[in-house]
């Protein structure tokens, strides 16, 4: 099983370049970074994990800038977002950022998409909470038009773009309905989420990986009903606190990659965590 990592990189943690060097040298598969543009002080949205919102949420580095640094100092390490809050971006700008990072990294980029949990953060971007999922779907439609090989127009409910020259293109070629880099959608299991995954993504990025035994069969059914190749579905448990038993269970479910959680800390603490995870990378702990 491929083992990647995720971390809240901030202005107080290990740097992207130092971490990327260590990950590649140690054989980790990838680095995924979360995104928050800002955290409004006056906030009524509860922290999904419960309790006080951790300090690092309001200090995150821009994932595309940080991943660009990570890609520049490595040759094999995958880079990805976990997750991009697509509703909070101008889709024309986001399409350019994604395609550029994928091009410069040689096709190593994974676009992890999500719908968010912080109502106030999204509202400052002009996002209406009840329609955010359809807004993300529309954003993806527009970006796919810009990533198409030939100039392609798009007219959606929330945005449009004329047929345009837009380069660079993502490295991966279209596969089924998916255009662009490897694309994974985060979120809780359910028919709406699975419909999004089947329409415009390569798979699912479930946080923690709990409940996969029950949720994978309906996802695979929806995938097949959408005419997608059963062997192409990718499920990547995200922000996992790993154990040998947990990773073995993922492997039994046909999962080929897991993303483990690193502490949002300085170099010494992060390197200790990598030491602890190293047996899983080496195949000795799974």
pLDDT of residue 283: 86
Output the pLDDT for position 105: 98
Q: Is the pLDDT of residue 286 over 90?
A: no
What pLDDT does residue 109 have?
98
Average pLDDT over residues 205-213: 95
Q: What is the mean pLDDT of residues 204-216?
A: 96
Q: What rounded mean pLDDT belongs to the chain?
A: 97
Confidence of residue 284 (pLDDT cuts 50, 70, 90): low
Q: Is the pLDDT of residue 285 over 70?
A: no
State both tokens at 135. Answer: 């807004």
Q: What is the pLDDT of residues 12-58, one digit of tens each?
A: 999 999 999 999 999 999 999 999 999 999 999 999 999 999 999 99
List the domains of the chain with CATH numbers: 2-282 (3.20.20.30)
Q: Which percentage of the chain shows pLDDT scores above 70? A: 99
Percentage of the chain with pLDDT > 90? 98
* Interval 67-93 mean pLDDT: 98
- What is the value of pTM for the model shown? 0.96
Instruction: Look at residue 185 in the predicted model and tell me its pLDDT.
Output: 98
pLDDT band at 201 (very low <50, low <70, confident <90, very high): very high
């Amino acid at each position: 099983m491929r083992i990647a990592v995720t971390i809240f990189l901030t202005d107080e943690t290990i740097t992207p370049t130092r971490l990327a060097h260590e990950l590649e040298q140690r054989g980790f598969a990838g680095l995924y970074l979360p995104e928050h543009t800002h955290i409004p002080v006056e906030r009524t949205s509860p922290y999904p994990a419960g309790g006080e919102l951790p300090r690092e949420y309001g200090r995150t580095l821009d994932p595309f800038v940080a991943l660009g640094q990570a890609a520049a100092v490595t040759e094999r390490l995958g880079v990805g977002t976990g997750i991009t809050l697509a509703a909070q971006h101008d889709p024309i700008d986001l399409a350019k950022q994604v395609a550029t990072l994928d091009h410069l990294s040689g096709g190593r980029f994974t676009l992890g998409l999500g719908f968010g949990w912080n109502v106030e953060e999204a509202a400052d971007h002009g996002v209406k909470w009840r329609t955010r999922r359809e807004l993300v779907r529309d954003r993806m439609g527009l970006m796919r038009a810009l990533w198409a090989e030939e100039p392609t127009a798009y007219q959606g409910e929330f945005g449009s773009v004329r047929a345009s020259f837009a380069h660079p293109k993502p490295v991966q070629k279209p596969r089924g309905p998916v255009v662009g880099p490897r694309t994974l959608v985060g979120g809780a299991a359910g028919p709406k989420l699975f419909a999004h995954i089947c329409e415009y993504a390569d798979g699912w990025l479930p946080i923690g990986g709990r409940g996969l035994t029950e949720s994978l069969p309906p996802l695979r059914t929806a995938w097949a009903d959408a005419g997608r190749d059963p062997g192409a579905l990718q499920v990547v448990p995200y922000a996992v606190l790993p154990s040998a038993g947990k990773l073995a269970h993922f492997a039994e479910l046909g999962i080929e990659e897991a993303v483990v959680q690193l502490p949002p800390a300085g170099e010494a603490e992060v390197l200790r965590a990598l030491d602890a995870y190293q047996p899983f990378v080496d195949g000795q702990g799974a």
